[in-house]
Structure 1
């Protein structure tokens, strides 16, 4: 899969922070990319945009593609036999592909498919901005500075732990609709 863009743009950050983090802020692009990657890694797939991907499978009866939004099966080869991809059924929301008895060989099944959301959901853009802003708020890993009677506390993810590009528990919970696997 080709390199993916960040879920949010520098202009989004400048707008959300009312100019406190301008588009010219050093490392803003890197922070947005890192936040987007953290979200994608947590969810187990790229989320958006729609892309074409090849998945190798086999050695089991049930096949799930790593996606919460399949749009099309493009090409399917099962034990060296090309199948009519258009005739196969799939569950677009769970990634399950239904078909004949799948190959028992490891990597004996090759599926090329298109998947992803057409647009980046607003809640994913917002979370990207939140995580990136937190990371930019403590670039040196400093959590607190004090001088005589004044002190300043920088971004922290836990007591004594500097911000950084991490997803907090409530942020992970907000991604449940995009995360692979069974949810209740």
Structure 2
């Protein structure tokens, strides 16, 4: 199910075909809103978590140095530390201490120890491969839920009724349709993948 179609922020967590199948006729495969809502849900999950989560990719980032002098990679699933530069000097990664995820279910905190880092803003730059190889199942499900909510309540209507049917959409507040948001009871699912904010 994991998305492989690329968007600006990376692969979608779920493919449009998966949402169409889950909707059992509610959503059309050629509806541009399906892709838009999946992209929005994926982005909101990534923004709350503070990193891309999946799939594995290589990034180059300027690192933050914590008060205790530890360099911190913005990831919970480090696959490989490719290179690191401190104040223009390349540091052999073999001289550093850091944890690499041993399997696809393991999380690691992204801390790098083994030297005193420059405290000059922007001085420490790392290139690293990180992210789960597949989107975790609980995040796939959440992405489907968020996009489904948004698509079934496109006009913002909380309740619709005809002579033969009544539809009640989820709400974020009295009279406000849930739409494509991470609801309070869903935040813990995303927070399990969130990086610490220093």
- TM-score, normalised to structure 1, is 0.88
Q: Distance in 2 between matches of 1:91 and 1:159?
A: 46
Alignment of 1:1-184 (within 5 A): 3-57=9-63, 60=66, 61-92=69-100, 93-145=108-160, 152-181=167-196
Whole-angstrom distance in 2 between the partners of 1:146 and 1:18: 21
Q: Deviations over 1:5-30 (max 9, x none)?
A: 21001111122222322322341000
Structure 2 CA distance for aligned equivalents of residues 38 and 10 of structure 1: 17
Whether contact under 8 Å (1:58, 1:102) holds in the other structure is: no
Distance 1:104 1:152, change over 3 A: closer
**Farther off after superposition, 83-92 or 121-130:** 83-92
| Kept in 1: contact 2:87–2:123 (CA 8 A) | yes
Hey, what's the Cα distance between the residues in 2 that align with 1:124 and 1:58? 27
Q: 2-side partners of 1:163 and 1:108: how far apart?
A: 43
Provide the TM-score with structure 2 as the length reference.
Answer: 0.82
Give the gaps of 5 or more residues in structure 2: 1-7, 101-107
CA 1:54/1:150 → structure 2, altered by over 3 Å: closer, same or farther? Answer: closer
Q: Deviations over 1:100-133 (max 9, x none)?
A: 1001211111111111001111111111000000
CA RMSD of aligned residues (A): 2.3
